[in-house]
Chains A and B, each alone.
Chain A
């Protein structure tokens, strides 16, 4: 070998050795290197397909031919409430002293660029940071890793499932979004999925109200026999479905469920309605209330919670406006609760985003008040369903306050940006292989 060739190869080899990833005892290639903006993130998927016109646009009924505009999301957005026709949504007094948009950065115009604007697609995009082009198999976990898996795998030390929760208003097919099919991730990095409307609702109260929380020595007896049985069965736990909590965490969750079922049955659980009025609960507020119970009890580092009731807009615009107003109240209520928590206060950033928008043009369905209804097109027939927004709220030392970014002609962000943004907040973004993120971290929102 010539000297020049030898030196070139030696230099390349040395460079490769220096730049090669280190394999840590945990099996990870790199230690978590990112600095955290905050230690807790609550990601609210809001709230079943929201039109830009009634949210950021604050146009209320003006598109229905009524001369009235105004802000029906007084907890999240700045702006005066409507002064006429308010009886259709029964306004609630805002629960936050200052709108959340003044306590963070509002991306007024965000675009959902690619793929069908369906609910499951929208959730998948929002939770994986990757657009989905085609119709989804509704019983399969997503192809790309979820934000939970990124968070758990790329945190050092690897965090338990107790630190990652997916609280969903809906059951099918949202339960599949707590982990992906991706070969490098999967259920071992998944989140605890919980649908409060089932577990604390009728089914749970009917079937689980008599559960008996065993003493630790009784639990150990059961665990000992289970271990004996499992030792004689070839199928490993790796092929078993779902995420796995430690036995200790399972007992904590069982106790949590037991006490909350009792509290709901006795109407003593705090709920996200004015005056703790259970008659004003809808599915969204039930879900938000339960999400707070999880936050209060376990203070997880990452929670995704969704609301879906505003999807009644397909045939009931009145119900849409009403539920949108309530979902906004739920977000304000949740933020207030977070500020009252000794661990979460001043160390939590909340990210809110609709999973998709809704059409500009109404369908031909009129509700009981004669108001036109709106769908969300599954293709490019109506690009209005691609117009969404995002609100990032947090402490003044961490999140830029009162900032508004983006216009209709110049969107400030994309739907796929929220996952890398959460990665930026929790310090794992740079540890995720770059080919897995289509979007970018919205660093302009942070101090």
Chain B
């Protein structure tokens, strides 16, 4: 009889424990400024390890566009860029071409070099949230800050490009 009660306790505990597992498959876009100023509470990833699924071409392109222009991608552009990504065998090459084309668009929203260097910490928090949907670890923040401070010609455009072609950006 005791075994039966133990089984009931175990199943109840298991149900309670596993039913509270945190949902981490998040691909929606947060409002970056809300995070920086602690206004919003939308969920973000706790770490890069939570990203295990590869984005489709459509996901990659549409998210990249919204990251760079802060608006949804027009359907025609989404179709074009998805086809371009499929029409090249080297996806890294395709992504570099796509990001290159987008950052050279006059409507792209990228901070100036001066804006970045006015508040490097804020820029780093912002770029991690914008592209990776998470805050940087202390180590990551120090690393990127050193790169920015040691190289005055390292512009936000180059940093945005590096984030957009990084391995982590290809996953969610």
Contact = CB atoms under 8 A, between A and B. Distances in A.
B86 A237 contact: no
Contacts of A3: none
A233 B48 contact: yes
Interface residues of B, number: 48
Interface string B142-171: 011001000101100011011101111011
Contacts of B70: none
Interface string A246-281: 000010011001000000000000000000000000
B49 interface: yes
B84 A203 contact: yes
B137 A234 contact: no
A225 B154 contact: yes
A200 to B, nearest CB: 10
B143 to A, nearest CB: 6
Contact of A210 (B81, B91, B101): B101
Nearest to B80: A203
A225 B80 CA distance: 28
A283 interface: no
A319 interface: no
Interface in A192-207: 192-195, 198-199, 202-204, 206-207
A234 B87 contact: no
Interface string A154-190: 0000000100001000011001001000000000001
A364 interface: no
A237 B83 contact: no
Nearest to B49: A234
A376 to B, nearest CB: 25
Interface string B53-87: 01000000000000000000000010111011011
B101 A253 contact: no
Nearest to B163: A229
Contact of A254 (B93, B144, B153): B93
B115 interface: no
Quick one: which of A199, A209, A242, A250 has the most chain B CB within 10 A?
A: A242
Contacts of A224: 147, 162
Contacts of B81: 203, 207
A366 to B, nearest CB: 34
Contacts of B49: 234
B124 to A, nearest CB: 11
Interface string A6-50: 000000000000000000000000000000000000000000000
B64 to A, nearest CB: 12
A222 interface: yes
Interface of A: 161, 166, 171-172, 175, 178, 190-195, 198-199, 202-204, 206-212, 214, 218, 221-226, 228-230, 232-235, 237, 239-245, 250, 253-254, 257
Given A226-B166, A228-B147, A244-B92, 11 more contacts: A166-B89, A192-B90, A199-B84, A207-B84, A210-B104, A211-B100, A221-B158, A225-B154, A235-B171, A242-B92, A257-B97
